[in-house]
DNA sequence: TTAGGAAATCTAACGACGTTAGGAACGGGT
DNA sequence: ACCCGTTCCTAACGTCGTTAGATTTCCTAA
């Protein structure tokens, strides 16, 4: 009986080592170097061993995506300690773009259309929840009633992603992109505050 | 002498047929089906013939990206016929997102980090110029002086891309995304109009 | 009219990829 | 001491991008 638990522990351990190796390769050498054989070599196994822990490469990559979102979430939580609501918003926006700059290859995989859309949305949910919470306290602090809360949240999320992509797609530097993100959010939020509150926009499903 | 011109014409013709076949495969079956052998089969040649017209697959893909931007540009020009500046802005925003929805695979390749960053920026330039022109007339129409014009333009471009990505990454439907894009732009522009004109923001390089 | 040579095209192959099959080695329970 | 399940490896399959070399096609020029 005790041996089986030990074996399970060892299994989980090598599984974790595979993920770590994959993450290391991805972050240091990019997505093109992320190969089953390469990862197996790094953990000193033969390639088929990987398939004892992951159904296929996509499943392994999904694990990296989940790791990336956990990492992003932890940095968001650090930025969310800022007490002032407006400053907190700016810091989170800045942090999102910074993440894209500091982990470009990871960020790329986290938003790769090749990974399953449902799975991606699933692992991204906790991060988006932080954004929702942020928007909730913001709208409460400024007495703004948003016509469609989820919609507003998606606008923020999409905007952050777009401007972060500006950076890692090579058009603008990362520090510049951070500033752009802050300014874009500032403009959007200012726009929402300025809207006539009685303005009943259609919810559009 | 006349035969050589005919041969050149034939060369250019098959080159064009290759591009068309590649485009057809990409749009109808997605990036995974975009294979040299597949394209060659479609134009009834063997695979190596493709390499007489393109240095490698990336060069061929770049041609598709360029085509995509030309297509987007033409649709922008149609939307730009709207005389009212604000409505024109909304229509262009909407058109951008619509394009992503109607040509998802093409849009994906147009923003694929794998294609060379410089080349991508180069072929995207004419489209961005439309945006610049739009922003110029908008700021003139509303008597707004932007602290940094290029920066403002990049914010718009990034925002549109981000919200369009929301759509084709699967989170929200395309018509919804079009509405989100319009609203995001509206909010951003409203924010810029509301800013105190004397507010000298740092240009930040 | 025909010999020669460039251009065009094909078949075959290379190396790398994701993935699977089949067998060897190991290790605890009877 | 045997046995069986797990673990692991070698070898292979099919596909990919890409290249080499042979072969065919077709214009030119004697």
Residue A116 is encoded by which pair of tokens?
């399953």
Q: Name the pTM for this structure.
A: 0.92
> Is 90 exceeded by the pLDDT of residue B45?
yes
Residue in A162, A175, A191 closest to B158 by CB: A162
pLDDT in the model for residue B201:
45
Q: How far apart, in whole angstroms, are the C-alpha atoms of residue A104 and residue A30? A: 9
Model pLDDT for residues A89-121, shown as the tens digit of each residue: 999 999 999 999 999 999 999 999 999 999 999
Q: How many CA atoms lie within 13 A of B28 on its CB side?
A: 7
> Is 90 exceeded by the pLDDT of residue B85?
yes
pLDDT in the model for residue A200:
42
**How close is the nearest chain A Cα to the Cα of B170, in Å?**
6
Picking from B34, B24, B31, the residue whose alpha carbon sits closest to that of residue B168 is B31
Name residues of chain A where pLDDT drops below 70. Answer: 1-4, 196-205
CA Rg value for chain B: 20
Residue A122 is encoded by which pair of tokens?
């699933």
Bigger pLDDT: B168 vs B152: B152
Model pLDDT for residues B93-133, shown as the tens digit of each residue: 999 999 999 999 999 999 999 999 999 999 999 999 999 99
Q: How far apart, in whole angstroms, are the C-alpha atoms of residue A52 and residue B34? A: 31
pLDDT in the model for residue B81:
95
- List Cα–Cα distances, B195 to A32, A56, A93, A191, in angstroms: 45, 52, 20, 10
Q: How far apart, in whole angstroms, are the C-alpha atoms of residue A2 and residue A148? A: 55
Chain A residues near residue B171 by CB distance under 8 angstroms: 117, 121, 154
Task: Determine the straight-line distance between the first and last CA of chain A, rounded to whole angstroms.
Answer: 55
Chain B touched by A111 (CB under 8 Å): yes
How does DSSP assign A98-148, residue by residue? HHHHHSHHHHHHHT-TTS-HHHHHHHHHHHHHHHHHHHHHHHHHTT---S-
């Amino acid at each position: 009986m005790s041996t089986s638990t030990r074996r399970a522990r060892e299994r989980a351990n090598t599984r974790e080592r595979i993920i770590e190796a994959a993450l290391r390769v991805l972050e240091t050498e990019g997505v093109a170097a992320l190969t089953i054989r390469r990862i197996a070599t790094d953990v000193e196994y033969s390639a088929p061993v990987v398939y004892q822990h992951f159904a296929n490469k996509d499943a392994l990559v999904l694990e990296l995506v989940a790791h990336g979102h956990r990492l992003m979430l932890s940095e968001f939580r650090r930025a969310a300690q800022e007490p002032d609501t407006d400053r907190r918003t700016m810091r989170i926006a800045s942090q999102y773009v910074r993440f894209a700059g500091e982990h470009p290859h990871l960020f790329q995989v986290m938003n790769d259309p090749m990974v399953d859309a449902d799975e991606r949305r699933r692992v991204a949910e906790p991060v988006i929840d932080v954004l929702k919470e942020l928007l909730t306290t913001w709208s409460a602090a400024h007495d703004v009633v948003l016509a469609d809360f989820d919609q507003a949240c998606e606008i923020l999320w999409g905007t952050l992603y777009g401007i972060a992509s500006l950076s890692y797609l090579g058009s603008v530097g990362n520090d510049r992109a951070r500033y752009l993100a802050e300014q874009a959010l500032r403009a959007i939020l200012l726009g929402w505050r300025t809207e006539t509150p009685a303005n009943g926009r259609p919810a559009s499903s």
